[in-house]
Amino acid sequence: MISFHSPAKYDKDAMVVLLASGQTHARFKNGLEKGEIYPVLEGDKTFLFVGLGKTDKLSLTDLRIQVRKAFASTYLQKAKTVEIIPHSKDDAAIIAIIEGVLIGTYAWDKYKSKDKNDKTVKTKQVTIAVETKKIFTDAVAVCQGVSLTRDLVNDNADTITSTYLEKTVRDLIKGKKNLSLEILNRKELKSKGLNLHLAVNQASNKEPKLIIVRYNGGKKGDGYTAFIGKGMTFDTGGLNLKPTGGIETMKIDMAGAAAVCGLLKNVLALGLKKNLLFVLGIAENSIGSAAYKPGDVITGYAGKSVEIGNTDAEGRLVLADAFAYVVKNYKPAKMIDLATLTGACVVALGFDYTGLFSNCDELARQLIEASQKTDDRAWRLPVYAELKEYIKSPIADLKNTSNIKGGGASTAAEFLHQFTEGTTWAHLDIAGSSYAEGSGRMYYGFGATGAGVRLLTHYLLNN
């Protein structure tokens, strides 16, 4: 946990002193290059001096990285309490430090065996030597929503089932006011005609669910903004089975729904005065004799028939029914979806940027601005009228795959667009940005990143 006080007290087990080029400290008069870490021991206390380089070249991303590096160093392993003396009291810099600590030190170790001889203190009490401000305590709360999302994405697929996600939502809203909850299980999905959603799940022994939380935090009559998350708790690809090298991380295919949970946690913690909908479309794309098949034609809730060109283009089917159901029954003013939707988005943007698609320039501008402020990065990609021709089917109204090669992220977005029914809409393709493999990237470390949570929380706070 992080707290704040000013001025610095130098009374903790360890003090992390951040120094830009030209800055010195009474206990360390030498300069440090960017990335250098220099420890000074005084009795039982450790002073850890961290070089940040020239301030005019120091990005907030760099600052987060250097803070994470300091906390990952061996010098702080046994410290229970840590005080951070920042190089600047600029609000944006302090928020970056907070995120460097809370996002940077996050680790998924639930299934690691514990070494009884390990003296490392994993949970530290951290104090930043600045005056308390609401934007700082808000930043701490936002990071807790990010951590919830990361926990959900990182855990086993047979743990984070639709039932588990329902319990997560119920636990988040328990005892809270101005909320209502609607849950459609298999029986309700069938009776209401959400057949696209059901088709994706029909080879699974897990219950499909559409979960909708209505949050009435704003004025009566104000429009709702709906946040809709793709929640494929595991995606085999269906009968178009994913190959080795592509299937191993498919527990992350519910990262959109997990991000909606993290956003819900943040909204409740911050008490935002907005009217909002939080929607999780949950299924498992399994294989077996009951699996839906390439070539099938299925009519969903919107009354539009869809030819199945590929069973691995399943997330857009679940989202299509969720869009149609929310539009008809809740009539939101805006819809924003999050989905690990396409490998094509990763080809286009790599792993550090979310793909943003929208039918509204103003909404896209607001989301891009929020992404730049939070370092939860997004880049706008196009949806345009001609794309509709590429997802036409000779035997159905639409096809869930494109008739042309290339532009797969855009044609997938256009498929979703066909179910918005004129509602102002944005789509965040987090296929690349939601997970960091190998040694990790930037300040995330390994595993889920919580993509979309900071971006959308900032969007709600400022629009």
Residues ≥6 apart with Cβ < 8 Å to 363: 334, 336, 424, 425, 426
Q: Are strands 275-285 and 225-235 parallel, antiparallel or unpaired?
A: parallel
User: The dihedral of CA 241, 245, 246, 251: what is its sign?
Assistant: positive
Q: Which of 68, 316, 377, 399 is catalytic?
A: 316
Identify whether the C-beta of residue 45 lies closer than 8 Å to the C-beta of residue 80: no
Q: What is the DSSP string of 341-365?
A: --HHHHHHHTTS-EEEEES-HHHHH
Q: Which two tokens stand for residue 451?
A: 């993509």
Q: Is 122 a catalytic residue?
A: no
> Do residues 87 and 31 make contact, with C-beta atoms less than 8 angstroms apart?
no
In this structure, which amino acid lies at residue 327?
V
441 is catalytic: no
Name the residue among 1, 144, 9 with its Cα closest to residue 83.
Answer: 9
By the 8 A CB rule, do 275 and 223 touch?
A: yes
**Which of 34, 242, 304, 373 is flagged as catalytic?**
242
3-class secondary structure, 81 = strand
Element of type H or E holding 187:
helix 186-192
Angle at 453 between CA 451 and CA 459, to 5 degrees: 120
Amino acid residing at 138: D
Count Cβ neighbours within 10 Å for each residue of 167-193 and write b for 16 or more, e otherwise.
ebbeebbeeeeebeeebbebeebeebb
* Residue 86, preceding peptide bond in cis (omega within 30° of 0): no
Rounded Cα distance between 263 and 260, Å, is: 5
Q: Which two tokens stand for residue 166?
A: 């329902």
For tokens 């869009």, the residue is: 323
The 8 Å CB, 24+ separation contacts for 8-11 are: 8/83, 8/85, 8/129, 9/83, 9/127, 9/129, 10/45, 10/83, 11/83
Q: What angle do CA 316, 319, 321 make, to 5 degrees?
A: 115
Q: Which residues are catalytic?
A: 242, 316
